[in-house]
């Protein structure tokens, strides 16, 4: 499978990389259609924001050019980008200056049952909670053991995704998706200033909904509010939008706002 390290075809990297040692880096998962990366501006903006917060120097024009060239070779599928702080010596102190490493890996476009998008998905209720760490919240960094633990909680295909709460019990997101709900025509998604990953599709949907005149609220969500919602949906930059129809004994109908956002996401991802 296609794989580049710092612009060269390579399937190996140094054992000294700080991405391995400490998860000291960031990643993006980019859907590629007809040789073009989708939502590139959003992905690059989030990556740059992550680099600013983690103080990892980034050559953004180089990274953009690499993603475009890689996508052209890939054609169709998913490009996973990993940017690490590069090699380090022993110890947590970041090297000065750091020489970041860019890794691009190709994957096939994932095939999900068509029922996920059509009838909606059932959420698994994850026992794994998200810890509250404002310094890392929102970033798509490489410290993902919480997601690994959460995704290990179920193996059946009946559950497409898992619901994650934070350690205080707020509704945050899916394991690999953001979550939104609609109530009385208002679109609500979790404030991600304590934990969670601020997804690029989430940002796209919020901007689109606002432009359509839909009131959008980014704020804390109580569990009871989730249950009382008119519509619930999941989104990410690879599959777009899935309605949520069930969580344990609770069910929701698939509503018109969800279908509208789903159509918009399909256009964005050309799928």
Name the site residues for a copy of itself (rule: CB under 8 A).
Answer: 3, 5, 10-24, 27, 29, 54-55, 78, 80, 82, 84-85, 89-94, 96, 103, 105, 107, 110, 128-129, 131-133, 135-136, 141-152, 155, 167, 175-176
Residue 173 is a catalytic residue:
yes
**Could you give the C-alpha distances from 59 to 14, 171, 220, 226, 236, in angstroms and in order?**
21, 36, 35, 41, 26
CB of 209 to a copy of itself, least distance (A): 28
State yes or no: is 55 an active-site residue.
no
Nearer to a copy of itself, 109 or 183 (CB): 109
Catalytic residue, chosen from 28, 38, 128, 173, is 173
Residue placing its CB nearer to a copy of itself in the complex, 92 or 213:
92
Closer of 124 and 252 to a copy of itself (Cβ): 124
Report yes or no: 35 and 71 within 8 Å, Cβ to Cβ.
yes
Q: How far is the CB of 207 from a copy of itself (least distance, A)?
A: 27
Q: Look at the alpha carbons of 109, 34, 212, 255 in this order and tell me if their dihedral is positive or negative.
A: negative
**CB-based burial, 16-55: b 16+ in 10 Å, e otherwise:** ebbbbbeebbbbbbbbbbeeebbbbebbbebbeebbeebe
Q: How far apart are CA 95 and CA 75, in angstroms?
A: 36
User: Residue 101 Cβ, how far from a copy of itself at the closest point, in Å?
Assistant: 10
Are the C-beta atoms of 230 and 255 separated by less than 8 Å?
A: yes
Neighbour-count burial of 157, counting CB atoms closer than 10 A to its CB (0-12 exposed, 13-18 middle, 19+ buried): exposed
Output the smallest distance, CB 141 to a copy of itself, in A.
Answer: 6
Nearer to a copy of itself, 24 or 204 (CB): 24
Half-sphere exposure (CA, 13 Å, Cβ side) for 113? 11
Of the listed 28, 29, 38, 204, which one is catalytic?
29
Does the annotation count 80 as an active-site position? no
The nearest distance, CB 169 to a copy of itself, in angstroms, is: 14
Of residues 53 and 250, the one with the C-beta less far from a copy of itself: 53
Active-site annotation holder among 84, 140, 204, 258? 140
**What residues are labeled active site?**
29, 140, 173
């Amino acid at each position: 499978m296609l794989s580049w390290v710092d612009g060269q075809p390579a399937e190996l990297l140094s054992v000294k990389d700080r991405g391995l040692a400490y998860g000291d880096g960031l990643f993006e998962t980019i859907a590629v259609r007809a040789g073009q990366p989708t939502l590139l501006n959003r992905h690059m903006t989030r990556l740059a924001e992550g680099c600013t917060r983690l103080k990892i120097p980034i050559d953004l024009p180089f990274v953009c050019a690499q993603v475009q060239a890689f996508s052209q070779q890939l054609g169709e599928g998913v490009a996973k980008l990993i940017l690490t702080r590069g090699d380090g010596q022993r110890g947590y102190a970041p090297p000065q200056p750091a020489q970041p490493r860019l890794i691009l890996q190709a994957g096939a476009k994932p095939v999900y049952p068509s029922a996920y998008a059509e009838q909606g998905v059932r959420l698994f209720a994850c026992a794994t909670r998200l810890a509250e760490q404002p310094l890392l919240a929102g970033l798509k960094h490489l410290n993902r053991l919480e997601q690994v633990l959460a995704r290990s909680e179920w193996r059946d295909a009946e559950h497409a995704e898992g619901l994650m709460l934070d350690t205080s019990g707020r509704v945050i997101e899916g394991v690999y998706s953001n979550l939104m709900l609609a109530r009385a025509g208002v679109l609500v998604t979790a404030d991600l200033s304590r934990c969670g990953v601020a997804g690029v599709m989430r940002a796209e949907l919020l901007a689109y909904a606002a432009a359509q005149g839909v009131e959008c609220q980014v704020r804390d969500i109580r569990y009871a509010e989730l249950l009382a919602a008119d519509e619930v949906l999941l989104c990410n930059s690879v599959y777009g939008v899935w309605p949520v129809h069930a969580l344990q004994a609770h069910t929701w109908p698939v509503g018109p706002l969800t279908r509208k956002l789903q159509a918009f996401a399909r256009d964005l991802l050309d799928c």
